[in-house]
Amino acid sequence: MSDRFSTDRMAAFAPAIPKRVADMPNLAAVRGADADAAGKRLVIGKQIRMSGEISGCEKLIIAGTVEAALSGVKSIDVTANGTFKGTAEVDSAVIAGTCEGTLKVNGHLEVAASGVVKGSVSYKTIAVANGGRLLGTIESIG
């Protein structure tokens, strides 16, 4: 008869030891490839309000409220609960929340079903989901 505290039975209930970051395969390669882009990403969380100027980031993600002039920002993503008010010239934009002001998109503009874009908008290509709204001056630049 085996002892209820035998090492064989205890081994069956031993928790898995989590791997250290250094032990995970190819993590260094992933970090190297995304390090620059991740370092230039700015996320404005829910219930956060920000105003002023934003420059030099690759991707701006807005889940809160931003009143700003953007320069050197390549991509803007306004989530369903997010609001952007101001001026921006970007390469791409996805608007699922509210965007008010002047928006120039040198590449693709996507307006989701919950998205509202008010003001002066120019774009090279556009996709507007059923329910998405564009209000104001709209101009194709490409």
Distance CA 108, CA 40 (A): 20
The secondary structure element, H or E, covering residue 38 is helix 27-39
Q: What is the DSSP letter of 19?
A: P
Could you list the pLDDT tens digit for every one of the 142 residues in the chain? 555 555 555 555 555 555 554 444 544 444 444 545 567 999 999 999 999 999 999 999 999 999 999 999 999 999 999 999 999 999 999 999 999 999 999 999 999 999 999 999 999 999 999 999 999 999 999 7
Judge contact between 84 and 102, C-beta under 8 A. no
Q: What is the DSSP letter of 113?
A: T
pTM equals 0.74
